[in-house]
Structure 1
């Protein structure tokens, strides 16, 4: 098996339907400027036939998959045999070593491609990459109505929220509404000492590219909670950001917002709602874990594998 560098156009023709949006050419090119010197590598691995591919961006002496997204990993052709997955990763690691660069790969959470993720973790571990394990949560939208799967405490809080005069709706994704949601989430993050990785212009342009959905929850005419959701993969909606304004927690806005978002995508025929991680570099945020589990969300592992240059 060999590695060949190709153009973005060639990569897009070979893999027109990647397993998730972050492995697509359009998303990659939109974020190319975030790499050092705009250095993005589109690589094919094959043995006469293309068996798989990966998109890598160079930053700080390492090649990253992804370089500006929650996760990346391989895009493969129809064959996912263990031998083929091993061979693809072996050639990618050798390519990085020949370039004198490290490699950092964050694989999708297990529900996106469980078979490929398991085989990739095995291959990369045997190739000497060091893992960091985060815990990511998702909701199975096939379980029935939202209230069928929540905890007793969540049901109690949801009943309280229903009597607090709250209203929630999916809003038209125009810049004005996107900024309303963004400002809520930014205020929420700042109040908790958490970084906000995306600037307003970046949120707006990315939302237009991926056709993101936005939800707003209001009380007495004030915006107090919001959510930004990407159509991340086939049958999967991903909550990229959500949160409420400080000082409104007693209204239980997040419980009502979670129910609305869940039911919206369940009615739309999606199979999973990805709630994202509740850890940072492997360390749990216990309050966030409790909240997501109260919604009936299931935990799964999200692997970041790293090889120093």
Structure 2
């Protein structure tokens, strides 16, 4: 049954991804959100949730985040998932939404959910607007070194004198500055200002991790990671200063974040997309594959209201 709120006494039968939680949604936009839930009244369970941001005649999920889409229980039927999306679409079209856009979570985050979500969107007439390749490392008991290519293993030896550190709140600005500088050196912009990132990190502090790599006392590289679920750690920003390229700071950084994932029972390390100007950047994808990552699809679907 479709609902616009969670009734008292109901519990969620699934975990919402970080970007779909209320605390993160409100960092994307303070208002404009519409939420939908699919309820199992007999068991008092929320079987699915879907949050969209409405701006004029456009509805988006997410609004300003990496991905959105429907979160749902592993035992929700394909029929109910399809009807849920259909019901949400009908409500939005009735309030004169003209365009409905959804960015799905990457395939490897949950292959079964991805397949069900994909088919439910297709069955409701959504079209694939865009496709990106993310790269994910599956975490297991094997060492990082045993999983990477021979060339990556040789490069990792160059970083033997580097020191890895997990940063606390007072050091967040240092990490941001070194990542911003690393992007500037390579001709790229950074998507968030320092104040935006620090504010986000404070609002979702328990899900945010800042890591740094040092050569002696000099910070030469850093990473900002988010726990997007209890299974997945997402490397949001990663970078190192160009003058320390020969020491392979990024390779070393990933090796240590991999160990962090092992110690904290994560199942996947998501390295993000490998794209530039809307197309796959092959050199970046190949680097990620050389350190043990597998390609994973991230799809954007869209549907426009037909003229009456």
Note whether the superposition's TM-score is higher than 0.5. yes
- Correspondence 1:93 to 2:86: no
SS class of match (2:198):
helix
Question: Would the aligned equivalents of 1:46 and 1:88 in 2 still touch at CA under 8 Å?
Answer: no
Q: Which residue of 2 aligns with 1:44?
A: 37
Aligned pairs for 1:158-307 (under 5 A) are 158-162=156-160, 165-172=161-168, 174=169, 176-210=170-204, 211=206, 212-279=208-275, 283-307=279-303
Distance 1:108 1:281, change over 3 A: farther
Return the offset for 1:78.
5.7
Aligned CA distance change for structure 1 residues 83 and 91 (closer, same or farther; 3 Å): same
CA deviations 1:247-280 (Å, max 9, x no partner) are 2212211111111111122122222111111125
Q: 1:233 to 1:39 in 2, by over 3 A?
A: same
How many angstroms does 1:207 deviate by?
A: 1.5
Correspondence 1:156 to 2:150: no
What is the CA deviation profile of residues 138-195 of structure 1, one whole-angstrom value per residue up to 9, with x for unaligned ones? 1111151000100011001001221xx32221122x1x31111111111222333333
Q: Which residue of 2 aligns with 1:106?
A: 103
Q: CA offset at residue 88 of structure 1?
A: 1.1
Q: Structure 1 CA distance, aligned partners of 2:27 and 2:74?
A: 27
SS of equivalent residue, structure 1 residue 161:
coil
Structure 1: gaps of 5 or more residues:
none
The answer for the alignment partner of 2:4 in structure 1 is 5
Q: Quote how far apart the aligned CAs of 1:46 are.
A: 5.2
Deviations along 1:115-139, one digit per CA (max 9) or x if unpaired, are 2221121121232322111111111
The answer as to whether partners of 1:11 and 1:25 remain within 8 angstroms in 2 is no
Please give the alpha-carbon distance, in whole angstroms, between the structure 2 residues aligned to 1:184 and 1:12. Answer: 47
CA–CA separation in structure 2 for the residues paired with 1:197 and 1:92: 31
- Kindly indicate whether residue 133 of structure 2 is the aligned counterpart of residue 140 of structure 1: no
**Matches of 1:26 and 1:11 in 2, distance apart?**
20
For residues 9 and 63 of structure 2, the distance between their equivalents in structure 1, rounded to whole angstroms, comes to 18
Determine if contact 2:133/2:297 at 8 Å carries over to the other structure: yes
1:188–1:245 CA contact under 8 A, matched in 2: yes
| CA root-mean-square deviation | 2.4
Q: Distance in 2 between matches of 1:236 and 1:299?
A: 15
* Maintained 8 Å contact 1:12/1:25: no
Q: Give the stretch that moved more between structures: 274-283 or 242-251.
A: 274-283
- Is the 1:143–1:149 contact (alpha carbons within 8 Å) kept by the matching residues of 2? no
Q: Kindly tell me: are residues 17 and 57 of structure 1, through their superposed partners in 2, closer, same or farther at Cα, counting changes over 3 Å?
A: same
The counterpart of 1:116, out of the listed 113, 122, 130, is 113
* Aligned residue pair count: 298
Q: Distance in 2 between matches of 1:130 and 1:282?
A: 18
**How many Å separate the matches in 1 of 2:20 and 2:112?**
17
Secondary structure of the 1:206 match is helix
- Per the alignment, do residues 77 and 251 of structure 1 end up closer, same or farther by CA in structure 2, a change over 3 Å counting? closer
Cα displacement (A) at 1:16? 8.5
- Structure 2: gaps spanning 5 or more residues: none
